[in-house]
Amino acid sequence: MESFVLRLRAVIECGNAAHALKDVEGFLMDPEGYALMLLAAEGYGVGEILEVGSYMGRSTCWLALGAKHAHREKVTAVDHFKGSPEHQSGRECESLALVEEGTTFNRFMENLRTAGVQDYVEPIIASSEEAVRNWNKPIRLLFIEGDHSYAASRRDYELWSPFVVPGGYICFHDIGNAPGVTLFHQELLKQSSQYSHIVSVVSLSVLQKNA
């Protein structure tokens, strides 16, 4: 009976968060967001939560809601806030905010405030390469969600994965949807003995660093 009640509470939690974030623009589905929320709240390890690629803050809000609810680490959001190639004017996922303002940062901050998590997110306005130069903290949860090309996914992994603690997690999004990140993800699982795949939620893949 107790486990059943816990499962019901999980449904309510997910529904409440999804409702709160229903107007936040982004491509993360609710089950994927809830998985990130649970990892932020209950995931193994001691260290930072770091996201590479925040766009309008949809995934950032999911992560921050989990971390804030559990009184754990704040979320560090690394992004130049100039959008990925597909968000540029005339492209398939053109961003109106980006076209009008030249940045997604203002909309990002507005969404954090709407979700009530602006106090639980520390944005770093920089490219991945620029941000990592001044980084020296352990990471327990790394979400790679920047440019979905093969080269960018590989670069972000190589820059940030050395900071992931044993037992910590790396998450990739759009596996099976975006060819570049999907190919890198496949290669990583075949070639590296450091990480084990533990679960996939729609197109979100969660890897755990072997202790």
User: Residues 146-161: pLDDT tens digits?
Assistant: 888 999 999 999 999 9
Q: How far is CA 143 from the centre of its chain?
A: 4
pLDDT of 119 above 90: yes
Residue 84: per-residue pLDDT? 67
Residue 177 dihedral angles phi and psi, to the nearest 5°: -105, -45
- CA angle 143/22/126 to nearest 5° reads 35
**In this structure, CATH architecture of domain 2-209:** 3-Layer(aba) Sandwich (3.40)
Strands (E) across the chain are located at 48-52, 75-79, 121-125, 139-144, 164-172, 195-201, 204-209
CA distance 54 to 104: 9
pLDDT of 19 above 60: yes
Q: How far is CA 184 from the centre of its chain?
A: 17
> Positive or negative CA dihedral for 23, 34, 151, 186?
negative
Report the pLDDT averaged over residues 31-45: 96
pTM to 2 decimal places: 0.92
Q: List pLDDT tens digits, range 79-114.
A: 988 866 665 555 565 666 776 667 889 999 999 999
